[in-house]
Structure 1
Amino acid sequence: MDLDEITTIIYQPKNDHEPGFIYLMEAEGYHGLIPGCYLRRCKIGLSRNPEARLDNFHRNQPPCNVKILKTIYVEDMADVEGELHQQFSQCNVELIKSQEWFDFNPVQFLMVNWEFEKRSLYVFSLSELPIKLIIFSMIGVLAMGAIAGTQLGFSHQPESQPLLQDAKHKIKN
């Protein structure tokens, strides 16, 4: 094994254009006389493991409490994070080491939460479609059958029972 092969095994560059999480973190109590009342300092980032990212953040960052407000699972972390950063670029806080922090007023905070909700909708893959299609089709057919049966007046009793009762009644009389 030569040095290039060892380097390839040891160093594998991260590909952020793959499935993972987008998170919204908040630095609690960062702004104002009544902290968090008007401006909220938030970070929009990506991670394969948001909880581990938060732990790492606490060990290496400023002495303020930071909490995760939202996480969403997406198919392409880098694309979604880039879209959100671009959409809220007017709120970006210019820091030396990070471009991922934003100051949101109440309306902007509602907007960023709405954008997270909009992107968090569950979209099933094509591989899941056949089983779901079969199950929902069967439920639909059963429901339609039940509705059609009640509308057409079908009953669960066989027709022979009323005839037998009429015959027994005639024999007694």
Structure 2
Amino acid sequence: MNFDDISTIVYQPKNDHEPGFIYLMEAESYHGLIPGAWLRRCKIGLSRNPEARLDNFHRNQPPCNVKILRTIYVENMAEVEGELHQQFSQCNVELIKSKEWFDFNAVQFMMVNWEFEKRSLYVFSLSELPIKLIIFSMIWLLFVGAIAGRLTSQPPMQPQKQLAK
């Protein structure tokens, strides 16, 4: 590689105010004899690729089983992540390297899941519909169209002449 090749590499800073994913990870078996019974240690973060983030996390963090519980697609990752961090700031765990870990009790855990649900952008795909529903809907539309066509193609009724007395 020569200097010309190196000079063409342009550094582009990450912009977290773009569309991407907000994830909720859990460190399993972190609290107590019955993990998750009272507290759940969770991480709220952002990533363009949550699965790659989880793999990177496993390679660079202490050995504990961490899994992704939820991901949502949002238009502005930094904004939504900041809102969630602020909303659950009372649950924040004081760590030196990270401000994204939270200890949730059962009620708080339900609340964070509800917040994820409210903020998720659902992208509808036809592949999610069962084929029978699609076929039934098409037949129903043809039936309604046929009835509407028959009603509009009939000649208007002639008014009856009143009989003279």
TM-score above 0.5:
yes
| CA distance, structure 2, for counterparts of residue 38 and residue 49 of structure 1 | 30
Question: Displacement, 1:33?
Answer: 1.9
Aligned to 2:116: 116
Aligned to 1:30: 30
Structure 2 CA distance for partners of 1:121 and 1:148, relative to 1, 3 Å: same
| CA distance, structure 1, for counterparts of residue 101 and residue 72 of structure 2 | 18
Matches within 5 A, 1:121-140: 121-122=121-122
Structure 2 CA distance for partners of 1:26 and 1:145, relative to 1, 3 Å: same
Larger radius of gyration: 1
The one-letter code matched in structure 1 to 2:31 is H
| CA distance, structure 2, for counterparts of residue 70 and residue 147 of structure 1 | 47
Aligned to 1:80: 80
| CA distance, structure 2, for counterparts of residue 48 and residue 34 of structure 1 | 33
Q: Deviations over 1:92-111 (max 9, x none)?
A: 00100000000000000001
Equivalent position SS for 1:9: coil
Contact in 1 for aligned 2:27/2:66 (Cα 8 Å): yes
Q: What's the TM-score once normalised by structure 1's chain length?
A: 0.68
Question: Displacement, 1:122?
Answer: 2.2
Aligned to 1:101: 101
- How many corresponding residue pairs? 134
Structure 2 CA distance for partners of 1:13 and 1:144, relative to 1, 3 Å: same
Q: Segments of 4+ in structure 1 off by > 4 A?
A: 139-150
| CA distance, structure 2, for counterparts of residue 147 and residue 41 of structure 1 | 60
The one-letter code matched in structure 1 to 2:78 is A
| CA distance, structure 2, for counterparts of residue 67 and residue 111 of structure 1 | 19
Question: Displacement, 1:10?
Answer: 3.5
| CA distance, structure 2, for counterparts of residue 143 and residue 20 of structure 1 | 43
Cα root mean square deviation, aligned: 2.8
Contact in 1 for aligned 2:26/2:68 (Cα 8 Å): yes
Structure 2 CA distance for partners of 1:105 and 1:146, relative to 1, 3 Å: farther
Contact in 1 for aligned 2:21/2:72 (Cα 8 Å): yes
User: Which residues of structure 1 form unaligned runs of 5+?
Assistant: 125-138, 155-173
User: Which residues of structure 2 form unaligned runs of 5+?
Assistant: 125-137, 154-165
Identity value in percent: 84
Contact in 1 for aligned 2:74/2:121 (Cα 8 Å): no
Aligned to 2:56: 56
| CA distance, structure 1, for counterparts of residue 35 and residue 81 of structure 2 | 26
Instruction: Pick the structure with more helix per residue.
Output: 1
